Amino acid sequence: MPQYILALDQGTTSSRAILFDKRGRIVAQAQKEFTQIFPRPGWVEHDPLEIWSTQAGVAAEATVKAGQNGKSIAAIGITNQRETVVVWNRKTGKPIYNAIVWQDRRTAEYCDQLRAEGREDLIRNKTGLLLDAYFSASKVKWILDNVRGARRKAAAGELAFGTVDSWLIWNFTQGELHVTDVTNASRTMLFNIHTLQWDEELLGLFDIPRSMLPEVRQSSEVYGETKTTVFASKIPIAGIAGDQQAALFGQLCTSPGMVKNTYGTGCFMLMNTGPEPKASSNNLLTTVAWQRNGQVEYALEGSIFMAGAVVQWLRDNLGIIKTSAEVEQLAKQVNSTGGVCFVPAFAGLGAPYWDPYARAAIFGMSRATTAAHIARAALESIAFQTMDVLEAMKVDSGLPIAELRVDGGAAANKLLMQFQADVLDTKVIRPRITETTALGAAYLAGLAVGYWQNLEELQALGQSDTLFSPNASQPGIRESIENWHHAVQALRVWSHAPQGSAAEPPRPN
C-alpha cells in the first residue's frame, strides 16, 4: 500500500488538509471555511469547536478523496495561524471563551501601558518580538481577567492554554497530549528564545500560571498518535510549525541567508539566520525558524501590511478591474508608471517603518495618468515594500542574499515577479507547488518518521518551477527606487502634520 503524508493547514479563514506523496506532489485536498466573529470594532474571534470540527472534517475528506484510510498515512504534520489563543477546561475539554485571533486589537491599550512602564526592552530582549497586541500573552491575560471564575480555575490547574496547534493535538489525542513546538511558542511573548523555555519573569508580568502552558517540543519529532475516530487507525503526529515558519521550511530555505516571501493579503518575509538569533535594529522580529534533530535555526521576519490587498482596493474601491487577475493585463498596457508612485499605507506602514499613523497616497499624477498607470504603480509598490524589508534583513543579518523564494497568490503575477527581480537585482524563484505552508508541515513530519531520509532527498525533489532573472538593462530602475523612497518620506511627513495645517493657504502680507 502506498504511503502518504497528511498536512493539516489551519488558517485564519479556513481549515485545509492536503495529502502529499513521496515526490512532494498533491494527491488530494479538502478545504472548509469557518465563521469570523467580530463582537466589537477591532475584536476578532473564532469558535474553537468549529476550528476543530472543520479541521477534522477536511482531514477525513481528503483521505477519502484519495481512496485511502489511516493505514496509508505515514504521519501528520500540522501548521497553523500563529498567535491566536484558546483556553480550555482540562477536565471537559471545552473552551471557556472563543479563540482570540492574531488580528484582534482589544489589548492594545494594555500593551501601551506596559510600554509606558518601560517593559518593552525586557520583552524584546527575551522574545525577539515587538511589544504588541498581535502576540498571544496579552490575549491570554484578557481571558483570565474577563471570564468569570477563570483566574480561580487557572490557579487550581484546571485550565489549559494553547495556540491552535496545541488545541488540535489535544483533540486528536483526546486530551492525552498538551504540546506545542518552538515556533509557535516563540510567538506567544512568553517564551525566551535564548533559553528555549517558558520565561517565569514574563509569566509573572502577564499574570499567567505556569500550569496552563503546553510542553514545548521540536518542530519535527513524533509527539504521539491520533486517538479519534477520524481515521481508521492510529497515525503518528510528527510535525508542527507556525504557518510562516512552515512556508520557510517548505521552500527549503535551510541555510543562513536564504529568504522566502509570501505574497498574500500582506507579505510575510522570513530569512534563515542560522543557529544564533540576530537582534534587529530595523524593526524586524527575531523568531525561531524551527528545531529538528536537537538543532535550532532562527529567522528574521518582516511584515508588509498591504500586498494583494492593494489589488483588492483597485477592484472593490476604484472599480478599475473586475477581478484581481485582471490587474496584470491592465498594468501591461503601459511600459512604466509615467511617474506615478503609489504608497499603499491604508493600515499604516509595516516593517521596517512600523508607522501606524501613515496613510496611503498616490504621487506624481498628471492629466496623462490612466488606470493602467495606477495599476502598474500598485503592483510596483508591492515589490518596493519587499525591497525595503529585504534591505533591512541584509543589514541586520550581515548575510548576502543570492535569491528570493516566493509563494502566495500574487506570486502568480509574472509582471510583478519580474519587476521584483529587477528592483532587487536578485534572482526570484517560484516553486512548482505554491502550497508551501502545507508542504513545510509535511516535510517536517515526513523527516521525523523516516518517510524522507534527509534534506538532500527533499532538495532532489526539484520543487522550483520558474526563475525570474534581473534585467540589467531595465531602464529607470534606480530612478524609480529613489522616487519610491521620496514618496514614503513625503507620505510620513504629511501623515504626521498637525490637523488642518496642510490645508491652510499662506496668508498674504
Q: Is 82 annotated as a binding residue?
A: yes
Cell of 272: 534563515
Q: Distance between CA atoms of 192 and 18, rounded to whole angstroms?
A: 33
Helices marked H in 425-476? 436-448, 455-459
**Which amino acid is located at 147 in the chain?**
V
Sign of CA dihedral 167, 168, 171, 175: negative
Residue 436 annotated as binding? no
Residue 104, annotated as binding a ligand: no
Question: Rounded distance, CA 183 to CA 296, Å?
Answer: 10
- How far apart CA 394 and CA 14 sit, in angstroms, is 34
Residue 413 among known ligand-binding residues: yes
Q: Is position 255 annotated in a ligand binding site?
A: no
For residues 4 and 482, give the distance between their C-alpha atoms in angstroms, rounded to a whole number.
50
In this structure, are residues 216 and 177 in contact, taking their beta carbons and an 8 Å threshold?
A: no
Spatial distance between the Cα atoms of 506 and 119, rounded to a whole number of angstroms: 44
Q: Does the bond joining 41 to the residue before it have cis omega, within 30 degrees of 0?
A: no
| DSSP structural state of residue 70 | G
User: Is 457 known as a binding-site position?
Assistant: no
Cell of 117: 512602564
Buried-exposed string 295-314: b where 16+ CB fall within 10 A, e elsewhere: ebbbbbbbbbbbbbbbbeeb
Angle at 323 between CA 319 and CA 326, to 5 degrees: 95
CA dist., res. 77 & res. 401, Å (int):
29
CA-based radius of gyration for the chain: 23
DSSP assignment, residue 506? P
312 is in an annotated binding site: yes
Residues, the chain: 509
Short-list 28, 32, 43, 29, CA closest to 10: 32
> What is the number of H-type helices and E-type strands within the chain?
16, 23
Q: Is 244 annotated as a binding residue?
A: yes
For residues 273 and 287, what is the distance between their CA atoms, to the nearest angstrom? 10
509 labeled part of a ligand binding site: no
Determine whether the annotation assigns residue 308 to a binding site: yes
For 6, 241, 406, the CA distances from 59, given in Å and listed in that order, are 8, 18, 27
Query: In angstroms, rounded to a whole number, what is the distance separating the alpha carbons of residues 286 and 465?
Result: 30
List, in sequence order, every beta strand (DSSP E) within 167-247. 179-181, 191-192, 197-198, 215-217, 220-225, 236-242
Q: Which residues are annotated as a binding site?
A: 12-14, 16, 82-83, 134, 243-244, 265, 308, 312, 409, 413
Binding residues for ATP: 12-14, 265, 308, 312, 409
Residues belonging to the binding site for sn-glycerol 3-phosphate are 12, 82-83, 134, 243
Residue positions forming the annotated binding site for ADP: 12, 16, 265, 308, 409, 413
Query: Which residues sit in the known binding site for glycerol?
Result: 82-83, 134, 243-244
